[in-house]
Every structure is written in C-alpha cells, then in structure tokens.
C-alpha cells in the first residue's frame, strides 16, 4: 500500500541553525501539507501546497518557514533559523482530491525535531 | 479564533462496550469533519469523515454530525483493547486548513 515517507525520523539541531525536513508524498497525490505537534499538544496546520504554490498557511508559518517541491517526488519544509519553540513532531500529509470534496489526507510517520 | 473542543479524557470502557467520543466546533462555516486515531508517538490515521448532517457508519464506527448544534461524535461499537488511543476530531471550512482538537484518550479494558 502506498504511503507517505519522511526523513529524517529524528533531527537534533542547535538554535539558530537551518533545518530541512523531507517528505515523499504518495505518487498520484496533488495536495501536500505540513503539520506540527508539540509534545502533548494539538496537531497544528502549518501550510498547504498545490500546483507548486502555497494554497493556504497558518499564523505559525511565518517568514522563518518555507516549503518547496524541488522535483517530482519530494516536498520539503525549511526552517531558516530554528528556535527552541520549534521543537515538535512535524508531519507531512498528502491527498488526491480537492479539499472541498472527498479529501482523505494520509499522514507520514513524522520527523521529531529537537532544538537545543 | 476557530476552535475544536474535545474532552481530554481519559475515557475508560470495558472490552465489548460502546465508546462515545464527542467534539464541538466554533466555526459555523465548517464543511468537513474528520475523526483520526493517534497511537502514542505515531501519526494521525483517518478513521472517518462526514460532510452531511446525520449518521455515517463504517464497520464498528459511526460518525454523527449535527451542524445546528455544531457537534460531531464518534461511536465505537464492540470496543477492543487495540482501540486504545487518542481520538482527534478535525474540522475544515471551505479551504485547505484543518483544525484539530486536542483529542480524547480512550482506554479499553480487557
């Protein structure tokens, strides 16, 4: 069964460093998402991406964050200068249908980001 | 601020019983409603989605939606120990942003 994959599974970085989290969505999916979940807290929407551009973003997704689909398979989240409060689990998700219709998002296993 | 509220639990039910999980949401413009299951340390897994008022059944799961009351519920029949997890209610308006509740922890006692 196709699945969303994410690398690395765990990333440790120093405050102020840049990190890139990588995702490979399911191959025929057209909509891509990043979420984060701080330990013990809610899953929070960060950004959605369709047709090579951001379709919607949350207040969390400020200028420190960017997303890119550098090739036909990868979808990346970059955090330019990490802060302690960026420590969280980051989930990538993908879906095939228009979000206004029958949309099933498949989540990847997540990348745990630890900022020291 | 659009909110999705859930009782954090834990909700404890014996094996074979019906577990009832509830969720309320603040945005009347919400259009799509989802229930996810999340095991500790794992990613959310979609159980069901519902768009229209009423009930939707899928195996042991039934989702119920009442848009007038801004209320969504999930019933799990014949609960099994493997159902023990955190259940996340999620809501979406007409766009791409999905808002999640904090989740209800369910324990099914063998």
Are B103 and A91 within 8 A, CB to CB?
no
Question: Looking at residues A34-57, what average pLDDT do you find?
Answer: 95
Residue A1: pLDDT band by 50, 70, 90 thresholds? confident
What SS3 class is residue B17? coil
Q: Report pLDDT for A102.
A: 62
A33 chain-B contacts, CB cut-off 8 A: 96, 98
What SS3 class is residue B107? strand
Residues 52-81 of A with CB under 8 A from B: 55-56, 58
Q: Pick from B7, B19, B4, B5: which is nearest to B84 by CA? A: B19
Kindly report whether the peptide bond that precedes residue B10 is cis, defined as omega within 30 degrees of 0. Answer: yes
Q: How many whole angstroms separate alpha carbon A4 and alpha carbon A34?
A: 12
Q: How many whole angstroms separate alpha carbon A83 and alpha carbon A1?
A: 36
Query: Does the pLDDT at position A101 exceed 70?
Result: no
Which residues are CB-contacts of A40 (< 8 A; sequence separation ≥ 6)?
A: none
Query: Does the pLDDT at position B10 exceed 90?
Result: yes
């Amino acid at each position: 069964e196709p699945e969303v994959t994410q690398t690395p599974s765990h990333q440790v970085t120093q405050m102020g460093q840049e990190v890139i989290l990588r995702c490979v969505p399911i191959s025929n999916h057209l909509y891509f998402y990043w979420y984060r979940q701080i330990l013990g807290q809610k899953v929070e929407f960060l950004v959605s991406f369709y047709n090579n551009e951001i379709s919607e973003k949350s207040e969390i997704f400020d200028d420190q964050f960017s997303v890119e689909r550098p090739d036909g398979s990868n979808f990346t989240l970059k955090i330019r200068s990490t802060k302690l409060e960026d420590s969280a689990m980051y989930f990538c998700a993908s879906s095939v249908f228009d979000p206004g219709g029958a949309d099933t998002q498949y989540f990847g296993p997540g990348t745990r980001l630890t900022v020291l | 601020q659009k909110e999705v509220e859930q009782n954090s639990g834990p909700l404890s039910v014996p094996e074979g019983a019906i577990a009832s999980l509830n969720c309320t949401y603040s945005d009347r413009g919400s259009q799509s409603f989802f229930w996810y299951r999340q095991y500790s340390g794992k990613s959310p897994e979609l159980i069901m989605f519902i768009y229209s008022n009423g009930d939707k059944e899928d195996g042991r799961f039934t989702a119920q939606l009442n848009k007038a009351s801004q209320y969504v519920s999930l019933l799990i029949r014949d609960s099994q120990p493997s159902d023990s997890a955190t259940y996340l209610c999620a809501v979406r308006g007409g766009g791409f942003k999905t808002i999640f509740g904090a989740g209800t922890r369910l324990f099914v006692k063998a």
